[in-house]
Structure 1
Amino acid sequence: MKRRDLIKTAAAGLVAAPLAIGATSANAATTLRMQTYWGKEANDIFDAFTDDVKIASNEELKVRRYTGSSLVPDAEMFQAVSKGTIDMCQGYAGYWPGQLDIASIEAGLPAAWTNYDEAMYIMDTKGLSDLIRESYAEHNVHYLGPIMGGPFDLLTKEPVNNLEDLKQMKIRATPSISKILQQFEIPTVFLPGSELYVGLSTGTIDGVIYAGTNEYLSMKLYEAAKYYTSLNMVSPGYTDEILVNMDKWKSLTDEQRKCIELAFAKHATKMHTWMVSGSIDASATGHFVMSALPPEDSARLRKAAEVIWEEEAAKSERNKKAIDILKAAAKATGRA
């Protein structure tokens, strides 16, 4: 068994293990309103997280979770947490690159890492998470940490054999991915996850770069688009996070904060495992026609990402430090 598979097996064991948290003293419950961009397809995952917080805190803390765009538009969750309009969110920083200097780097730049182990080495061991946490703190937001996603590939209504085929399609992509696709004259548009089904069904878009087959299956996007194309730009393909309003975070006791941190750690591992294993299973359902870009086209996408890296590094001194971390990791793993 490969080391990467061993890591995933160990992670699955962590998911099954109970939280090692001692109960706090009984007080009146504090309810935290949390929005995610995820819909009902992820109910079981988030129910487990909210239950863990409730049980670990001896019911002092209760997280009430709302699905995508229920309270505020998904792209505005960061600002809503900053202002205290909502207490928490699980979001994707690719939604707010113009609001946070390090957002695109946090979300997972193309060619940033090639596997889960490398991504967590960059985040935790080399300090990228600390830089991200510092940036959010300047906006009155506490960053709990990264939730590494699964695949981040292309789903289209028509087959894709190469990059040239995409020039005739309008692709939903985040701003950072759009900058790469536009170098190849591929039209792009942004839509939040909650609007993808309608967008594909009505022809507003011809394809999406959003996640992997697991998410595409649960969102039933295969009913409108069945051609799945692996891009091989970055793996894991995206990074979620949980954010907490800083004033709310500081109002909690040390024990309550620890309950949330440990529940988050379990949730992050469980969600990554769900997304990766689910995508493997979903790929075999028959709902998708599976293919991959030619290796030379994937290499062209990764090469185009170098422009994005330099643009990000120029935004702030903090961003330069973050890009230096990515460059050092690429060199250490023989990719540069």
Structure 2
Amino acid sequence: MKRSTFVKGTLITSVAASLLVSQLAYSDTVRLRMHTFYGTEMDEIAADLRERVKESSDGSLRIQFFRGGELVDSSQFVNAVSRGTIDIAHGVGSYWPGQVSIGTIEAGLPGAWVSTDEARDVFTDQGLDELIAEAYEEQGVKLIGRGYGSDYGLLTSEPVSSLEDLKSMRIRATSSIATVLEKFDIPTTFLPAEELYVGLSTGVIDGAVYGGPVEYEQLKLNEVAKYYTDINLLNPGWIETALINPSTWEKMSEEQQQIITTEIDRYLEDIHQWLEEGNQKIIDEGALFEFATLPAEDSRKLAEAALPIWEEEAEKSERNAQAVEILINNATQQGRLSE
């Protein structure tokens, strides 16, 4: 009896201890430093994300949010996540093409897609995201989310009626768009979003291809430039990427991982819808900007000039070649390229 009582007591103690350890492990708060390339315009959406993650995880997951430029430069997101300086990054692949060569393709090659539904299909159903995830894994980061931007027009301090007008201007653009513009002797440079206001107000740049009307309004660029021109080259004009540090990811339980991916997906979709609705409202009101569209012939020239960029990107690696093949097959199926 004594031995039986001892064994029984030992088992009860062991089970209780195991339960206690399990509860303590789950109750440890995982604090995640998340950095976006956006500024204050996304504060409300970011606050919703933080609250949902906290509630869904019973407080075991907490997000500390950083806006564009607050902790690290957007172009350094991949390195920062890999080193653990930040845990989660929300950016655009064209900010780091020197680190992840497929990033330019990921962000959106000119002419690659013309609707959000088409872009979603290319990434999720035609295998593009699988190739991209492999590339990020090689850089020590994990792909956990995909966002779809919105309108991608040209904002300038002077009106634009043709490509010829742009030859006397310096335009801020990411690498792929810059390559197209430079084929028409249009000077380009790159500035992060947080520097666009100063760049336009001081004449460092004369225009920018960055986003749609709502983003330009949120950055208060309507105070220094009011001419918005639709260049009819890519929509969505950029594709957003969410990355996480692998060590941070592995420390979380499967349930916590699911919470993060689910809520990051919702966060990215909320941003997309906010952009779409905001752009249309500003266009309908017509008060902040003067709207124009590049002549169809000029848009056609831009599209034709973009095709060699696809070939150049394909030559950078076997993975890039596979990605471009996906784009070519899709564009052919959509009727934008001949077989």
Partner of 2:16: none
Partner of 2:31: 31
- 1:227 and 2:224 aligned: no
Structure 2 counterpart of 1:90, one-letter code: H
Partner of 2:9: none
Whole-Å separation in 2 of the counterparts to 1:51 and 1:79: 27
| Cα RMSD (Å) | 1.3
SS at the partner of 2:90? strand
Q: Is the 8 A contact 1:26 1:58 kept in 2?
A: no
Structure 1 counterpart of 2:233, one-letter code: M
Q: Is the 8 A contact 2:150 2:238 kept in 1?
A: yes
Structure 2 counterpart of 1:189, one-letter code: T
Whole-Å separation in 2 of the counterparts to 1:55 and 1:318: 40
Deviation >2 Å, runs of 4+: none
Whole-Å separation in 2 of the counterparts to 1:285 and 1:242: 33
SS at the partner of 2:98? coil
Whole-Å separation in 2 of the counterparts to 1:307 and 1:51: 46
Whole-Å separation in 2 of the counterparts to 1:303 and 1:57: 50
Q: Is the 8 A contact 2:232 2:299 kept in 1?
A: yes
Structure 2 counterpart of 1:321, one-letter code: Q
Q: Per-residue deviation at 1:145?
A: 2.6
Q: Deviations over 1:161-206 (max 9, x none)?
A: 0000000000001111111110000000100001000100111100
Structure 2 counterpart of 1:114, one-letter code: V
- 1:144 and 2:144 aligned: yes
Q: Deviations over 1:215-265 (max 9, x none)?
A: 001111000000000011011111111111111112211111100111022
Whole-Å separation in 2 of the counterparts to 1:147 and 1:96: 17
Q: Is the 8 A contact 1:88 1:243 kept in 2?
A: yes
Structure 1 counterpart of 2:84, one-letter code: G
Structure 2 counterpart of 1:298, one-letter code: S
Q: Deviations over 1:253-294 (max 9, x none)?
A: 111110011102211221111111111112225010000100
Q: Normalised by the size of structure 1, how large is the TM-score?
A: 0.91
- 1:127 and 2:127 aligned: yes
Q: Per-residue deviation at 1:26?
A: 4.9
Structure 2 counterpart of 1:311, one-letter code: E
Structure 2 counterpart of 1:263, one-letter code: E
- 1:81 and 2:96 aligned: no
Structure 1 counterpart of 2:60, one-letter code: E
Partner of 2:213: 213
Q: Is the 8 A contact 1:26 1:59 kept in 2?
A: no
**How many aligned residue pairs are there?**
313
Whole-Å separation in 2 of the counterparts to 1:127 and 1:312: 17
- 1:299 and 2:300 aligned: yes
Structure 2 counterpart of 1:269, one-letter code: E
Q: Per-residue deviation at 1:29?
A: 1.0
Structure 1 counterpart of 2:31, one-letter code: T
Partner of 2:71: 71
Unpaired runs of 5+ in structure 2? 1-24
Structure 1 counterpart of 2:78, one-letter code: F
- 1:166 and 2:166 aligned: yes
Q: Is the 8 A contact 2:168 2:186 kept in 1?
A: yes
Partner of 2:52: 52
Whole-Å separation in 2 of the counterparts to 1:116 and 1:288: 24
Structure 2 counterpart of 1:75, one-letter code: S
Partner of 2:322: 321
Q: Is the 8 A contact 2:145 2:261 kept in 1?
A: no
Whole-Å separation in 1 of the counterparts to 2:72 and 2:62: 20
Partner of 2:5: none
Q: Is the 8 A contact 2:94 2:104 kept in 1?
A: yes
SS at the partner of 2:27? coil
Q: Normalised by the size of structure 2, how large is the TM-score?
A: 0.90
Q: Is the 8 A contact 2:157 2:226 kept in 1?
A: yes
Unpaired runs of 5+ in structure 1? 1-24
SS at the partner of 2:287? coil
Partner of 1:109: 109
Q: Is the 8 A contact 1:34 1:90 kept in 2?
A: yes
Partner of 1:245: 245
Q: Is the 8 A contact 1:140 1:247 kept in 2?
A: no
Q: Is the 8 A contact 1:77 1:89 kept in 2?
A: yes
Q: Is the 8 A contact 1:128 1:325 kept in 2?
A: yes
Whole-Å separation in 1 of the counterparts to 2:182 and 2:237: 19
Structure 2 counterpart of 1:178, one-letter code: A
Whole-Å separation in 1 of the counterparts to 2:336 and 2:68: 37
SS at the partner of 1:31? strand
Partner of 1:6: none
Q: Is the 8 A contact 2:78 2:139 kept in 1?
A: no
- 1:290 and 2:291 aligned: yes
- Structure 1 or 2, whichever has the larger Rg, is 2
Structure 1 counterpart of 2:39, one-letter code: G
Q: Per-residue deviation at 1:214?
A: 0.7
Q: Is the 8 A contact 1:147 1:240 kept in 2?
A: yes
